[in-house]
Structure 1
């Protein structure tokens, strides 16, 4: 129904406490009532990048018969009030939905959508369940702010959380500070220095007190004062509040997306605890993407790997999905998405899409046991993987030095740290503080789809430390492609809601969650596992001290002597979800 459109800039929408949010309204130029799509976010709504590149264009949506509201979070840009991430999203999204529903151009059917930070409020709206909200669509946002946005398995998601502040939070925050010109100029220089050299933020100790963040991001210190999952995080958590969600949710993530963990948790929570309608109708899509694949010139690329035209994300793909979703729930149309599989996932290696009624699909967890003669250090060592249990084998050992952490190479990073997706791990696997265990070349393909985990029996000389795991596909030409990864902070080995320090030197069971993945290891390839104690700066360094890593200083840094056991009474194994 393409025709003339009306665009109203900076409509000030009142919230329940009187604060008004700046809103741009895109609508058909007619006297009819239309369904409404709302995007409430902390970014600049006037930026064409935000308007047209992320999920759907408000112009195209208005031409299809929608009214679109692009709205700035309180305390951001032209909106009134004070911004504090997450705190007001639930009530403000509720009020915005209900305001939209009662306008003359609205038919009362409202949806919310958004990717990454632009989808946070949409997720909170689903929790709030305003009466006129009919559906939400999310792309690589985070249903749980603790597990995905700020922390993962107890470790600080350092690269993402810090660079998000530097690139997205700080610029507008500086403009609102009551500083004299010289102070403001100095602060701008400090932020620009961090933007140009984010390593200065990554390396700073204590992490909780990065000087430039004191004025532009006071919430940073608050986040880092709550490393455990507690009531501070629970109130924002859509996973914990899944039983409150009453509208269908479409959510999308990628195997190399840093918030994949949160989407997996949400999908399980909606299956188990969601409203009856939600359980039946929610949809989950996982592609072979990193967080920025949809903005890439080749949107089927993640790192160094192009997964083919059928894997492309980006505006055309996301727009089609979003319009199918909202055409059904807001306009009552039957669409392929509304009638199709509950879960669609991309199988890497095979480079094909598959569907299933629930995630994960039926699979058989198969243990691949760690073996060595005590010298598994680096890919030149003697570590191997086998489905046979070990006998009386000596442990492997290495030294983890926080002053020389293993650099992140590919994987689920994000932010100003662009080294993400598929990358060759060969150089990393030359380090002596990386234990490497490889299978023999495969005689037939091995297909996996579902959760990957490492059960590790290990000991450390430190009261706290980290253990990392990386699943690698070693190709016949020697390219070592990372497939999945995980970390566990030792003090959170019994759950991220409780801290229990280690007894130094005592063999202890750790379960490292590498999250879920769908992949085919082809004939002639080898399955490989890398084990170490750091993946920096995707995650912060554990200082090997009883002091919280976010509060520790240089004087708290200790080297840790790590041992990994693999013998009959101490079985360490990689669990792979094999499928036919």
Structure 2
């Protein structure tokens, strides 16, 4: 046991957390270290932080793969110790001082189960354990949540979803900004060039499946799987860790506290994870969705009053939850709490959304491009899509590269949108001015009837709110290829110049449109680097080395299915 002091760099944050919570009853007695053996003999470096009174305490376990975050985790999570918990932070295999080889995600199930087998035998914990963590640390909990010993009474799952394929691909379109940036940031390869610069360089390499070899001098097996396994039906997604993760929520039997953000790239996967929980688990669990991104901030150019419901780094909410489930304190919560953007308020519900109540706006081009309450006369709108000049990403939720400044990622959150009126490949459709505040709760669905002269292409949609001053702010966006249209699991052929119906299911939101505003839908064929640039050729996207210009057509009016469906 040795003494422990918070890194002075984080003392200000520590004081903020202290001010958000009841007075501490304990001090940190010290920190001890252990090398915990896994089933294959590899030892993982583990730190134990104890209160200064007592011999055994309720215990909180965190498994962390990011050694550069160790000081930050200590500064924030040791607040648990000062409130009467023993804190255990373990470095994942191949990271920090832990032995073994770093292979993202692969070993976390076996290592997590082995770590808990060790933990329940330790005298410093009193038989009441919780698992806690954000992002990857949350994954290390999800992946063992169906195999927990009786000593684990609850888990706190912050900013991680269970549908890896659904987060990586949207209708066949790969999310570059999230997973290419993450791959280069976590490659484990030492380079003389900043990883952010390598990421930016990788975006222009054709074929893209050669980017890691050209820039890092080696291939990244996990990334090659990401960019080559485009079908959900492939063995990669149907077997192994990601298939296992998707099956775990329905097997959980203890209370769960889930946290997500409307501007986090795990949003859709977290909703799926919550929906898969058993009803009896939902009734004793809590799901909170706020106007947050992947580090818990409220990004973009809008303000979100009273957004800090859970406290810095969720410590306030976690303490309240753990005091109930590990210490037996009284307390109740509504199952669902979410922040409604535009109304600036928290709402509580028993279920997530009521998708049965919807309203529609129809794409119209008669006499001008509009969104109308009823279908208009049939018409077409045409544009040319050139992959060498994609529409740049500006705002959104499915983004991550921003988290690392040197990566110069696309800006995220809800932002004032650029004026793309000079681009012939961005079709703009505006609704009438709203005569009352109007709520959107859930996932917006966009149906388009389209055609192209290519064997495959993409169509993208962005939904915005335009305020009386003319500023347009993005609400949600989505995209689809034709070969993977309508969320199908395997590609289907498309016959050039033949109309096809595509349905784009946007990620969920809770938004209140303001009286005096109007809705804008922008239709195009790209949103880069949020998604890869579609080459307009039929071959797998990561192996193509050529671009083709495509002539696109959108069909509107009463003979066609081109509309937006909004959930109330």
TM-score by length of 2: 0.88
Q: Report the secondary structure of 2:262's partner residue.
A: strand
Structure 1 counterpart SS, 2:542: coil
The question of 1:562 aligning with 2:556 is answered: no
Q: What is residue 287 of structure 1 aligned with on the other side?
A: 290
Residues 89, 489 of structure 1: alpha-carbon distance in 2 compared, 3 angstrom cutoff: farther
User: Quick one: distance in 2 between partners of 1:48 and 1:550?
Assistant: 38
Distance change >3 Å, CA 269–CA 154, structure 1 → 2: farther
Summarize the Cα distance change of 1:46–1:408 in structure 2 as closer, same or farther, 3 Å threshold. closer
Give the Cα–Cα distance (whole angstroms) in 2 for the partners of residues 437 and 244 of structure 1. Answer: 45
Q: CA RMSD in A?
A: 2.2
Q: How does 1:128-143 map to 2 (within 5 A)?
A: 128-143=147-162
**1:137-180 deviation per Cα after TM superposition (whole angstroms, max 9, x unaligned):** 122223222222x334432111111222333x13xx23xxxxxx
Shift of 1:550: 1.8
Q: How far off is 1:282 after superposition?
A: 2.5
Q: 1:163/1:541 Cα in 2 relative to 1: closer, same or farther (>3 Å)?
A: same
Instruction: Select which of 240, 243, 253 maps to 1:246.
Output: 253
- Equivalent in 262, 279, 283 of residue 269 of structure 2: 262
In the alignment, is the contact (CA less than 8 A) between 1:45 and 1:70 conserved in 2? no
Q: Indicate the larger mover: 425-434 or 12-21.
A: 425-434
What are the residue-to-residue correspondences of 1:294-443 with 2, within 5 Å?
294=296, 299=297, 301-308=298-305, 310-312=306-308, 316=312, 318-335=314-331, 339-361=332-354, 364-373=357-366, 382-391=368-377, 393-412=378-397, 413-415=399-401, 416=407, 417-443=409-435
3-state SS, counterpart of residue 189 of structure 1: coil
Contact 1:405 1:541 in 2 (8 A): yes
**C-alpha distance in 2, partners of 1:314/1:159?**
28
Task: Find out whether 1:232 has 2:222 as its counterpart.
Answer: no
Are the counterparts in 2 of residues 41 and 119 from structure 1 also a CA contact under 8 Å?
A: no
Could you tell me how far 1:359 is from its partner in structure 2?
Answer: 0.8
- 2:21 counterpart residue number: none
Q: Which deviations, in whole Å up to 9, do the C-alpha atoms of 1:473-493 show, x marking residues without a partner? A: 000001000011112232222
Shift of 1:385: 0.7
Alignment of 1:95-114 (within 5 A): 95-114=114-133
Match of 1:179 in 2: none
Whether contact under 8 Å (1:91, 1:128) holds in the other structure is no
Change (3 A) 1:10 1:406: farther
| Alignment gaps of 5+ in structure 1 | 175-186, 375-381
Deviation at 1:317, TM superposition (A): 6.4
Q: Does 1:160 align with 2:178?
A: yes
Provide the TM-score with structure 1 as the length reference: 0.87
Match for residue 184 of structure 1? none
Q: Deviations over 1:331-379 (max 9, x none)?
A: 22223xxx222111111111111011001146621111000148xxxxx
Q: Secondary structure at the match of 2:532?
A: coil
**1:218 and 2:221 matched:** yes
Further displaced range: 352-361 or 324-333: 324-333
Q: Which of residues 475, 497, 508 in structure 1 aligns to 2:489?
A: 497
Deviation per residue, 1:469-518 (Å, 9 max, x gap) = 11100000010000111122322224352111322111111110112111
Partner of 2:531: 539
Cα distance in 2, alignment partners of residues 494 and 363 from structure 1: 20
- Are the equivalent residues in 1 in contact too, given 2:302–2:414 (CA < 8 A)? yes
Secondary structure in structure 1 of the residue aligned to 2:226: helix
Whether the aligned pair in 1 keeps the contact of 2:362 and 2:557 (CA below 8 Å) is no
Does residue 8 in structure 1 map to residue 45 in structure 2?
A: no
List per-residue Cα deviations over 1:184-238 (Å, max 9, x = no partner): xxx5124x1x414632122222222222345473321122221222442344253
Q: 1:281 Cα shift?
A: 1.9
Shifted more, 312-321 versus 252-261: the winner is 312-321
State how many pairs are aligned.
Answer: 532
* Bigger mean CA offset, 228-237 vs 535-544: 228-237
Q: Does 1:209 align with 2:210?
A: yes
What 5-or-longer segments of structure 2 have no aligned partner? 1-23, 402-406
